[in-house]
Amino acid sequence: MSDSEDDDIPQLSSHALAALQEFYAEQKQYTNPDGDDKYNIGIIEENWQLSQFWYTEETALCLAQEAIAAAGKGGRIACVSAPSVYQKLKELHREDFSTYIFEYDRRFAMYKDEFIFYDYNNPLDLPGNIAAHSFDIVVADPPHLSEECLRKTSETIKYLTRGKVLLCTGAIMGEVAAQLLGVKVCKFIPDHARNLANEFCCYVNYDSGLDCEAI
């Protein structure tokens, strides 16, 4: 091939090439949407612009088991901005409860009918099939450590729950959480896959296994 023929071949800029590589990497996550690994925490990579900080496997399991116990046999569990808990619940392959994932990140739409698009800015903008007070427990982890975000998320939580609330958020939100949801802090400390600058806590409004020292 002569030099002049080489010049005719279109070249991608380094930016375009990087974007293409990122696109292929994202596509790879969905190559087998029905495979066994589709509920792996981390199958959707953290997007820090969406305040995504995934729990460790151990924390997600602990929260999932607590939600199952609190919901009771045949119970319904809402995971609000807490996708790792939803994923862990599904990974357990149990049929004695049902669960939905309320999420802003549409990549989680891979979970089809159990995915409910949710933006905390519009707390009650939910589809018609989501009836008021139709969940035995709501597990929530709002995206921001602000009074406004927690207040709006609390509206959703109160709409969805039949009573029980399990909230994970920063320790600095404890007082506001108590006022808005009547929750108290647990001894259990949630852990994240990547270290966070903020101290995190779990809060509940019922007698919970997470209060046990043994956890």
DSSP H or E stretch at residue 91: helix 83-91
206 binds ligand SAM (CB under 6 A): no
Nearer Cβ to ligand SAM, position 21 or 121?
121
Minimum Å gap between C-beta 1 and ligand SAM is 48
Of the residues 29, 39, 53, 117, which one makes contact with ligand SAM according to CB under 6 A: 53
145 binds ligand SAM (CB under 6 A): no
Nearer Cβ to ligand SAM, position 55 or 97?
55
DSSP H or E stretch at residue 205: none
Residues in CB range of 70: below 8 A, 6 or more apart? 136, 137, 164, 166, 206, 208
Interhelix angle for 57-71 vs 83-91, to 10°? 80
If you write DSSP's letter for every residue of 147-204 in order, what string do you get?
HHHHHHHHHHHHHHEEEEEEEEEEGGGHHHHHHHH--EE-S----BSS--SS-EEEEE
Nearer Cβ to ligand SAM, position 60 or 70?
60
Q: Interacting stretch for ligand SAM, rule CB under 6 A, among 18-26, 117-125, 157-165, 205-213?
A: 117-125
Minimum Å gap between C-beta 124 and ligand SAM is 13
CA neighbor of 52 nearest in space, from 4, 98, 84 = 84
Nearer Cβ to ligand SAM, position 2 or 127?
127
List contacts with ligand SAM (CB under 6 A). Answer: 50-55, 81-85, 103-105, 118-121, 141, 143
